[in-house]
């Protein structure tokens, strides 16, 4: 059962108002419970206690015959009373109560209560989206305690005013350009500073890798090795057969090459769209053949070299260093 300090109006009611004033020096206390059934058993030192039952909105006092409501029927209007006020005591120990021009009592501060026990550790909470996407489900300690629903879409905002068109205008004073929107310059773009000259590159033979180092300036930037010799091929033989030639290589299945019909004249030339290929034209049929490969990437040995076959990395050949296919 909780106890609360009686408000000043209750104090005045109990002390009475008018010419006959009773001096009160102790602070009255009033217990409070939620329901009537929560009242303590009315006996012993409980007799005389007053308790406010919030469910009934009434005050009960413990009498010899049990709990009795103090909310009786309305009485006759009392004599007009004097107004009362409270002033803090200079020593801070309580409040001095004055009704009219007369000090009728004081309300002393109560003693400090004992420390309450520590509360239980609160459960952590988390939120997860609902499956239908309508909001978020809140769980605390594994238990669903509520949901937060998505709000409805707000009304469309008013259309904004038309923006100004922008253009870029050369500005020699800053070695760049101004960005002009309407009649206002809103920014500028400056040309970057000239970069340092690049170092020329050369190919230096490197016997330890059975290949070459690519040296740019004084720095080795890459290397490539000569390919390993391939396995010896099986010897082949050719035998004229009816309608063609039969080719036999080792223990492989023989292949017969049939005699062809008379073909048209063929020509070979650089591919106009990609210098990594040459184009063989026979009549109306054109076939592209790569000049060289770096892994699976075709390239023009006159312009690039294969720096790394595994990564298929190509690099440009400097005009003074020459190049070739690998």
Position 42 confidence tier, pLDDT thresholds 50, 70, 90: very high
pLDDT tens for 197-247 read: 777 888 888 888 888 888 887 888 888 788 777 777 767 888 888 878 888
Contact 307, 222 (CB under 8 A): yes
Average pLDDT over residues 51-76: 82
Closest C-alpha to 50, from 65, 26, 30: 30
Can you spell out the DSSP letters for 239-272? EEETTEEEEEETTSPPEEEEPPPP---EEEEE-S
Place of tokens 């990437």: 297
Average pLDDT over residues 244-262: 81
DSSP state of 73: S
Residue 100: pLDDT over 50: yes
* 3-state DSSP assignment of residue 147: strand
What is the C-alpha radius of gyration for the chain, rounded to an integer number of angstroms? 52
Alpha-carbon gap, residue 318 to 323, rounded angstroms:
8
Assign 3-state DSSP to the chain and report helix, strand, coil percentages, each to 5. 5, 45, 50
Q: Where are the beta strands (DSSP E) in 142-196?
A: 143-149, 166-171, 176-181, 184-190
Residue 323: pLDDT over 50: no
pLDDT for 78 equals 62
pLDDT tens for 299-311 read: 888 888 898 888 8
Place of tokens 């205008």: 169
What is the chain's mean pLDDT, rounded? 80
What φ, ψ does residue 162 adopt, rounded to 5°?
A: -60, 135
Residue 315: pLDDT over 70: yes
Alpha-carbon gap, residue 263 to 121, rounded angstroms:
95
Contact 88, 108 (CB under 8 A): no
Alpha-carbon gap, residue 314 to 291, rounded angstroms:
14
pLDDT for 105 equals 84
More confident residue, 159 or 250: 159
276 C-beta neighbours (distance < 10 Å), count: 20
Burial class (CB in 10 A: 0-12, 13-18, 19+), 299: buried
With a threshold of 0.85, does the pTM exceed it?
A: no
Contact 297, 291 (CB under 8 A): no
Out of 121-125, 158-162, 272-276, least confident range: 121-125
DSSP H or E segment with residue 11:
helix 8-15
Exposure letters 188-221 (e unless 16+ CB within 10 A, then b): eeeeeeeeeeeeebebeebeeeeebbbbbeeeee
Which tokens belong to 88?
């803090």
- Most confident listed range (14-23, 72-81, 97-106, 225-234): 97-106
Q: What percent of the chain shows pLDDT beyond 70?
A: 85
More confident residue, 318 or 49: 49
pLDDT tens for 109-123 read: 888 878 888 877 777
Alpha-carbon gap, residue 325 to 311, rounded angstroms:
17
């Amino acid at each position: 059962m909780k106890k609360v300090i009686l408000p000043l109006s209750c104090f005045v009611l109990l002390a009475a108002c008018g010419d006959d004033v009773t001096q009160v020096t102790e602070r009255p206390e009033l217990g409070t419970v939620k329901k009537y059934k929560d009242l303590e058993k009315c006996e012993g030192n409980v007799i005389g206690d007053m308790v406010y039952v919030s469910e009934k909105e009434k005050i009960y006092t413990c009498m010899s015959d049990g709990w009795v409501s103090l909310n009786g029927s309305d009485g006759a209007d009392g004599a007009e009373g004097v107004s009362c006020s409270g002033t803090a005591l200079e020593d801070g120990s309580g409040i001095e109560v004055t009704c009219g021009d007369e000090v009728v009592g004081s309300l002393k501060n109560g003693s400090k209560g004992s420390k309450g026990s520590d509360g239980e550790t609160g459960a952590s909470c988390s939120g997860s989206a609902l499956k239908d996407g309508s909001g978020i489900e809140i769980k605390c300690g594994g238990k669903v305690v509520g949901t937060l629903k998505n709000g409805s879409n707000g009304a469309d905002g008013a259309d904004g005013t038309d923006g100004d068109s922008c253009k870029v205008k050369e500005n020699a004073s800053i070695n760049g350009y101004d960005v002009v929107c309407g009649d206002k310059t809103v920014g500028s773009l400056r040309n970057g500073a000239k970069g340092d000259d690049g170092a020329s590159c050369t190919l230096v033979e490197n016997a330890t890798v059975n290949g070459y180092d690519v040296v740019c300036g004084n720095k080795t930037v890459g290397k490539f090795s000569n390919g390993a010799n391939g396995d010896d091929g099986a010897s082949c033989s050719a035998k004229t057969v009816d309608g063609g030639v039969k080719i036999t290589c080792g223990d492989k299945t023989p292949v017969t090459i049939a005699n062809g019909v008379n073909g048209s004249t063929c020509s070979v030339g650089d591919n106009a769209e990609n210098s990594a290929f040459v184009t063989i034209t026979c009549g109306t049929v054109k076939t592209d053949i790569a000049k060289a490969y770096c892994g699976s990437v075709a390239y023009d040995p006159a312009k690039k070299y294969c720096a790394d076959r595994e990564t298929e990395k190509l690099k440009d050949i400097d005009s003074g260093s020459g190049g070739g296919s690998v």
